[in-house]
Amino acid sequence: MTAAARAARHETPYGAFQLNCYPARANERLVAWCSADTLLLEETHRRGILGSGILVVNDIYGALCVALEPHALWTDSALAVLALRHNERANRRTQTRIVWSTEVPPAAPELVVLRIPKQRPLFEYQLSRLARLLPEQTTVLAAGMDKHLSPHTAAILERYIGPAQRHRGQHKARLFSAIRDERSAPEYTGIATYHSEALSAELCGLANVFSREKLDMGTRFLLEQLHTLAPAETLIDLACGNGILGLVALRQGVASNIAFCDESAMAVRSASLNASRIFPQQARNVSFLQGDGLLEYREKPAQIILCNPPFHLQHTVDDFAGRHLLQQCSQHLQSGGRLYLVANRHLDYLPTLRRTFDRVEKFASNAQFNIVLAQKS
């Protein structure tokens, strides 16, 4: 975190904590908690259950875990874990055990405290897994912001967990609870596939993966340009999702070694599943990294980076997510290295790129998207 980043004080029934968002920026516009977190903390406190009996799901910046010190956090997001680690250190709280969304959470908790994700497939997948894990009578407390909730939230909870209640709302957030009953819950994997013409293969995406049911239009436009790129040895598919950009680059001989990077555990797992199924002989030519962009990237600098950057920070539309990622690129490119970035025409990443690259130019455009080429001399 930068020194300029401002932490804010989060008052909870468990004490007051200084919390910061991650990635942090000077003059932060967001606070690191919301009224859905407040509802969950108040209700958990009212029930008097100790942190050691609690499984937290989808904490975003650590507001729940820092207060509760739970048994574990089940999450898809490396950014959420980085936020949590910063906030635990800042408040001298115990490190929460992390269980990635692609793993099964640890043995039966007494209480589940869940932030309802915006992505319904992820929500249903998590409930379907929890239903198999929870003993009868275990309560799931769930809350979300009204604007992200489906009108069917209580019904969805009831379908997987058991009798559900819609509780009070507060500051545009709503609390729900469900009690696990004896019924067997439906199995829901959340996996979706589509056929990629460029790969002549099916691509799969786990429940929380971007564009897992169909090719994104910006991605399609970048794919259409790949055959014009001078081939290289090493390429990074940055913010890889299901791995489509890197896999097509491998198929077309744009590069022979590809690193796939994403902050989402499900994205990285999807890219890895797709690579091993489509290119079973090339296991030594592909690598996978879950983290905040290239912060933990330890390979030698690459010759090409392809990127269709994120435009959300957790639940909020915010081009800072993309700018934060692009600031990291130049130091992981060899001299002469090239970054190809596709973005909606209304998003202007040129000033960010000009700060770290020697040459930045428009490489291609259509009615909706620009592709920018940034080069390191």
Ligand X SMILES: C[S@@+](CC[C@H](N)C(=O)[O-])C[C@H]1O[C@@H](n2cnc3c(N)ncnc32)[C@H](O)[C@@H]1O
Q: For ligand X, give the closer residue by CB, 210 or 288.
A: 210
From residue 261 to residue 290, the character string flagging contacts with ligand X as x (rule: CB under 6 A) and all else as - is xxxx--x-----------------------
Instruction: Please identify which residue in 42, 110, 216, 318 interacts with ligand X, judged by CB under 6 A.
Output: 216
Instruction: Please identify which residue in 117, 162, 293, 337 interacts with ligand X, judged by CB under 6 A.
Output: 293
CB 308 within 8 A of CB 344: no
Which residues, in sequence order, are CB contacts of 202 under 8 Å at separation 6+? 193, 194, 195, 196
From residue 241 to residue 260, the character string flagging contacts with ligand X as x (rule: CB under 6 A) and all else as - is x--xx---------------
CB 322 within 8 A of CB 370: no
**Using the 8-state DSSP alphabet, how is residue 95 labeled?**
P
Q: For ligand X, give the closer residue by CB, 39 or 258.
A: 258
Q: For residue 240, which amino acid is it? A: C
CB of 280 to ligand X, least distance (A): 22
CB of 339 to ligand X, least distance (A): 14
From residue 182 to residue 201, the character string flagging contacts with ligand X as x (rule: CB under 6 A) and all else as - is --------------------
Look at residue 50 and give its three-state secondary structure. coil
CB of 111 to ligand X, least distance (A): 29
CB of 196 to ligand X, least distance (A): 11
- Cα pseudo-dihedral 35, 40, 44, 45, rounded to 10: -10
105 preceded by cis ω (within 30°)? no
**Integer Cα distance of 168 and 319 in angstroms:** 33
Q: Over the Cα atoms of the chain, what is R_g?
A: 21
What is the DSSP pairing of strand 234-238 with strand 257-262? Answer: parallel
**Integer Cα distance of 308 and 314 in angstroms:** 17
Q: Judged by CB under 6 A, does residue 310 bind ligand X? A: yes
- Distance in Å from the first CA to the final CA of the chain: 29
**Integer Cα distance of 353 and 373 in angstroms:** 10
Q: Which of residues 23-62 bind ligand X (CB under 6 A)?
A: none
Tell me the residue nearest to ligand X as measured from the CB: 241
Q: Could you tell me which residues are beta bridge partners of residue 359? A: 375
Q: Residue 55 phi/psi, 5° resolution?
A: -105, 120
From residue 124 to residue 163, the character string flagging contacts with ligand X as x (rule: CB under 6 A) and all else as - is ----------------------------------------
- Cα 358 to Cα 57, 321, 353: the distances in Å are 43, 22, 9
Q: For ligand X, give the closer residue by CB, 44 or 211.
A: 211
Q: For ligand X, give the closer residue by CB, 91 or 327.
A: 327
Instruction: Please identify which residue in 34, 64, 229, 239 interacts with ligand X, judged by CB under 6 A.
Output: 239
CB of 53 to ligand X, least distance (A): 31
Instruction: Please identify which residue in 100, 160, 210, 349 interacts with ligand X, judged by CB under 6 A.
Output: 210
Pick from 12, 135, 110: nearest CA to 68: 12
Number of residues that bind ligand X (CB under 6 A): 21
Look at residue 10 and give its three-state secondary structure. strand
Part of the chain binding ligand X (CB under 6 A), chosen from 114-122, 174-182, 189-197, 235-243: 235-243
* Residue ranges that bind ligand X, judged by CB under 6 A: 79, 210-211, 216, 219, 239-241, 244-245, 261-264, 267, 292-293, 308, 310, 321, 325
